[in-house]
Amino acid sequence: MTAGGAGRPEVRPEAHLEAHPEVRPDDRPDGRAGPGMAVRGERLLADIARLAAIGARPDGGVDRVAGSPADLAARDWLGARIAGAGCFTWRDTVGNVFGRAPGGTGPWLLAGSHTDTVPGGGRLDGAYGVLAALEALRTLRENDHPAARALEIVSFWDEEGASPTSDGGLVGSTAFCAGDHITDIAAFLEPHIEQGPRMEQAGIDLAVVDGIVGIDRHAVVLTGETNHAGTTPMARRADAARAAARVLVAVRDIAAATDPGMVANVGCVDVLPGAPNVVPGEARLVVEFRAATRAALDLAAARLIGHAGAVARDERCAAAVTPLSRKPESRFDPGLCGLLDSACRGLGVPVTNLVSFAGHDAGVLSRHVPTAMLFVPSTGGVSHAPAEHTPDRQLVLGCQALLDTVVAWWYGRSTRLVTSDLARGE
């Protein structure tokens, strides 16, 4: 009899391990994959090289824009690699490529990223996450580990939004989250290159990503008076270009004063009518702010509006600041991030926590299921360019951390199943 209830039979935990054969007594309780459960680094690196050859350019870059012949060929190649690992693969109506080991019943832990690139992009952005997920799945299958049946991998369609016909990027993940299959997904992990210099500068091998910054864009229009550039005295000019220049220069200061971690950019400048002998009557800027909190983004917007108005009055012009777009910040799941952090630290390498300043499919998934991201360093902080690079050792480390996290997640889920049965006395 149990101490807690009359008439209730004693329940042996071993009996529930027998009832749940996917829970193995020899699996390490810390969730690590255990001795002999290591990814095959040479196979991962060979896959990266093979995929980079699809759409390869003479300068070492890759042209694999979504929907291009190279992109479609890469998806065919990926499907063949998944099938070659003894798994089955399929595509949805959007073009997302999926893979899964036979025998699972779900809900699944989804892992992956994207294989499309920007024009003249690098060989690792997105592709690394897909191939690391494939290598983790293969390793689990080869070791006959039950976590293989809980893992699903994905290459999302058109993450970059580089095609003229794109809806702006993150197309496949957005469509996926609007469909029925998202209800079969328990969590999402996305391995990725950092695409910035922070990790390399700090000597960090792996980083757990806590979230993705919000991105706000604003249209700034300065309106002055078009006039003859030779006959209009300088003191009488309402020069919209001069006013716009002063606003442009101030954007960096606004960001720094608002949040030391904020980044800002002015990537579009138009001056009208655009003749060398005409004082510009109108100038247009597009200002972008990226920050981890909505409060910082709102404060930066307010300061931009205030500064543009003050400059306009000083320059005898008018100013209008209009929001163009707002992408909300994403916060990732603390529990899943904690599993990823433990897996990374278990490898005995330098680890840190970061916020991503680039958009990712993980940001879309995080609004529907628990999500986490893993970063490996980018050499020189270079990405979206042929020089994009990460040392082989760190690529393999990131893949091993992914594998260990998958096992830890599976172990936790399976243990909860056993505990639930014990509590019911079944």
Q: How many CB atoms lie within 10 A of CB 303?
A: 18
Q: How far apart are CA 125 and CA 352, in angstroms?
A: 20
30 pLDDT more than 50: no
Please report which confidence band the pLDDT of residue 421 belongs to, taking 50, 70 and 90 as the band edges: low
- The pLDDT assigned to 10 comes to 34
Q: How many CB atoms lie within 10 A of CB 80?
A: 11
- The pLDDT assigned to 32 comes to 52
Q: Is 12 helix (H, G, I), strand (E, B) or coil?
A: coil
Q: How far apart are CA 426 and CA 79, in angstroms?
A: 42
96 phi, psi to nearest 5 deg: -60, 135
What average pLDDT does this structure show over 2-27?
36
Q: How far apart are the first and last CA of the chain?
A: 14
Q: Who contacts 90 (Cβ-Cβ below 8 Å, separation ≥6)?
A: 97, 98
According to DSSP, the residues that pair with 110 across neighbouring strands are: 152, 188
11 pLDDT more than 60: no
Torsion of CA 324, 289, 356, 204, to 10 degrees: 160
Give tens-digit pLDDT for 347-372.
Answer: 999 999 999 999 999 999 999 999 99
Q: Who contacts 176 (Cβ-Cβ below 8 Å, separation ≥6)?
A: 92, 94, 96, 154, 156, 182
What average pLDDT does this structure show over 223-247?
98
H helical segments located in 58-188: 69-84, 127-142, 171-177
Q: How far apart are CA 229 and CA 39, in angstroms?
A: 68
19 pLDDT more than 50: no
Please choose, from the candidates 317, 108, 341, 90, the residue with its C-alpha nearest in 3D space to the C-alpha of residue 220.
317
Give tens-digit pLDDT for 246-282.
Answer: 999 999 999 999 999 999 999 999 999 999 999 999 9
401 phi, psi to nearest 5 deg: -65, -40
User: Which one-letter amino acid corresponds to residue 236?
Assistant: R
What average pLDDT does this structure show over 399-420?
86
Q: What sign results for the dihedral spanned by CA atoms 112, 367, 406, 388?
A: positive
Q: How far apart are CA 176 and CA 157, in angstroms?
A: 10
Please report which confidence band the pLDDT of residue 420 belongs to, taking 50, 70 and 90 as the band edges: low
Q: What is the pTM of this model?
A: 0.86
> Of residues 17 and 415, which shows the higher confidence score?
415
Please choose, from the candidates 232, 217, 218, 321, the residue with its C-alpha nearest in 3D space to the C-alpha of residue 281.
232
The burial of 231, by beta-carbon neighbours within 10 Å (0-12 exposed, 13-18 middle, 19 or more buried), is given as exposed
User: Which one-letter amino acid corresponds to residue 157?
Assistant: W
What average pLDDT does this structure show over 101-125?
96
Report DSSP state, residue 146. G
28 pLDDT more than 70: no
Question: For all residues of the chain together, what is the average pLDDT?
Answer: 91
User: Which one-letter amino acid corresponds to residue 150?
Assistant: A
What average pLDDT does this structure show over 113-137?
98
Q: Are strands 206-212 and 227-228 parallel, antiparallel or unpaired?
A: unpaired
199 pLDDT more than 90: yes
Q: How far apart are CA 161 and CA 202, in angstroms?
A: 31
Percent of the chain whose predicted confidence (pLDDT) is above 90: 86
Please choose, from the candidates 363, 213, 224, 211, the residue with its C-alpha nearest in 3D space to the C-alpha of residue 288.
213
23 pLDDT more than 60: no
Report DSSP state, residue 179. S
311 pLDDT more than 60: yes
